[in-house]
Structure 1
């Protein structure tokens, strides 16, 4: 099977399920994603990007998590230079793609870690295959109830980029937006804006960690707290001093919070 070496010692391979094409990414030391491979007994971490972007802005977090557990990232259909589908995909479509792509590679026990719109995809992947998802991590969840129209959401994202993010995180996001292109971005934007996060989250039966940067105005404190209370086993953690892309700015702190949550809820969940 053909593989491609990526920057920062990441490898990738194309994956096609349900008539959709994406990409799975892993690092040296993580088992090759294929049926029959020895994936160990512990759940893998699966990182899921948001609208317009790719695994690249998750790469720092990926590397930290991969030092202690099998870790995979996904580039979803239509994003990151993957083929554009012929029609709009719902969050449910993306969730099904994630769950079936992982199943096709023999990855059947995992912790889903979604960021921004990736939170919506992660929720749907957990609902699609509830027997495989062990925990759910929602980083910077959208769409905050304060930003329920495109103008407010865009303003929050723009101010976050200008005031709270680093040049490197902005570079990754902007160049990924260019790779995605405006047509697919604006095809999927209404899906993100209308997704009923709280309603869908109420169907989750595994432990949930809601994680936000303390300066994240995209996913505000009241909204994040409300989501953490929408499930029986919900927790909220804030990473001090950072905004929406906390996993790039403070990957070690984010990884520590995720690992602590997974350890605690695996023992007592």
Structure 2
């Protein structure tokens, strides 16, 4: 009987050890998740470069905004991040543009430092656009040049249709969602392929922080909303100068898709950055700046003549 009891005791001990390790791993994961949620909204590097930030109560949302250190004449630039990311991914582009422009980078409600409680509903693309319009008014601005990345372009397209008086010009970088690949699986595959091209400057650490702040439920619900939103239906109604920018190696927003969008815009133009990938604003901020400078200068000049 004793020989038969030994394997049973060994199995029980192994089971208890496994449960203990699982509990320890879960506790460690929760601690790391909470640590990510406490990450400051402005990175130390950007803070030392002069990028500041402030909170405002915009209607029912408490929104965080980054602002560049130098004021500049002319229209301000507003950078709008993709979702589920936050404006942290746009900081280096903001600093690259700050020598010539006043640049503001808000976090959309529910993301980054503009956190919402888990019980709060996920805002639609139209609701995010309305939040940006209220934010613009609250900051005593009437018009701006708006620069969006990926799904941030979807929000800006809705803004331009719903509140055209607030938009002097638009830059859409890597706009989504390609109608030829409108599924979560295909978008995930394209995103993975792009991440392989950006291994030298990966935004994965930023994504972990922003995912922790937004929460998994909000992130999944938001992705579903974005997949069902059709940016191409809004573009024919946008009557301001619009530059569509993509990298030549962008796997998320391929050339065919961006060319289709450009053809739908009454005042659209397409520019391809040679060697660029999908996350141009983060991986190649200075190349991004140089590429859009002529367009921005033209918009500023047109505004002065009006």
Normalized against structure 2, the TM-score is what?
A: 0.79
> Retained in 2: the 8 A contact 1:164–1:242?
no
Q: Retained in 1: the 8 A contact 2:110–2:122?
A: no
Give the match for residue 170 of structure 1. Answer: 204
**RMSD between superposed Cα atoms in Å:** 1.9
Deviations 1:99-120 (A, max 9, x none): 1101101122210101011001
Residue 61 of structure 2 corresponds to residue 20 of structure 1: yes
Partner of 1:250: 284
Corresponding residue for 1:129? Answer: 163
- Work out which of the residue numbers 154, 169, 172 in structure 2 matches 1:120: 154
**Alpha-carbon spacing, 1:177–1:17, altered in 2? closer, same or farther (3 Å):** same
- Residue pair 1:165, 1:243 contacting (<8 A) in 2 also: no
Task: Determine which structure has more spread, i.e. the larger CA radius of gyration.
Answer: 2
What is the correspondence of 1:142-221 to structure 2 with a 5 Å cutoff? Answer: 142-221=176-255
The corresponding residue for 2:10 is none
* Whole-Å separation in 2 of the counterparts to 1:6 and 1:220: 31
For structure 1, the 5+ residue unaligned runs are 31-38
SS of the counterpart of 2:205? helix
> How many pairs does the alignment contain?
257
2:114 to 65, 82, 85: 82
CA distance in 1, matches of 2:253, 2:84: 18
Secondary structure at the counterpart of residue 14 of structure 1: strand
Taking structure 1 as the reference length, the TM-score comes to: 0.89
Q: Give yes or no for the alignment of 1:225 onto 2:259.
A: yes
Quote how far apart the aligned CAs of 1:43 are.
0.9
Asked whether the 8 Å contact 1:113–1:139 carries over to 2, the reply is yes
- Structure 1's 109 and 164: CA in aligned 2 closer, same or farther, altered over 3 A? same
Q: Is the counterpart of residue 71 in structure 1 residue 103 in structure 2? A: yes
Deviation of 1:266 after TM superposition, in Å, equals 4.8
- Cα-to-partner distance string for 1:43-92 (whole Å, 9 max, x where unaligned): 11000001111111111110011110110001111111432261121101
Query: Following the alignment from structure 2 to structure 1, what is the Cα–Cα distance between the partners of residues 181 and 211?
Result: 21
Using a 3 Å threshold, how does the CA distance of structure 1 residues 67 and 144 change in structure 2: closer, same or farther?
same
Distance across 2 between alignment mates of 1:268 and 1:258 = 16
Question: Which structure shows the bigger proportion of residues in helix conformation?
Answer: 2
| Distance in 2 of aligned mates of 1:84 and 1:166 | 33
Q: Deviations over 1:212-242 (max 9, x none)?
A: 1111110010100111111111011111112
Aligned to 1:141: 175
Conserved? CA contact 2:126–2:155, under 8 Å: yes
Instruction: Measure the CA separation in 2 of the matches of 1:29 and 1:6.
Output: 18
Q: Does 1:54 align with 2:86?
A: yes
Secondary structure at the aligned position of 2:237 is classed as: coil
Q: Distance in 2 between matches of 1:268 and 1:105?
A: 23
**Alignment partners' CA distance in 1, 2:112 and 2:200:** 21
Give the structure with the larger strand fraction.
Answer: 1
Cα gap change, 1:268 to 1:103, in 2 (>3 Å): closer
State how 1:2-17 maps to structure 2 within 5 Å.
7=44, 8=46, 9-17=50-58
CA contact under 8 A between 2:42 and 2:66: conserved in structure 1? no
Gaps of 5+ in 2: 1-40
CA offset at residue 165 of structure 1? 4.5
Q: CA deviation at 1:5?
A: 7.0
Alpha-carbon distance between aligned partners in 1 of 2:208 and 2:271, rounded to the nearest angstrom: 27
Aligned residues of 1:165 and 1:245 also touching (Cα < 8 A) = no
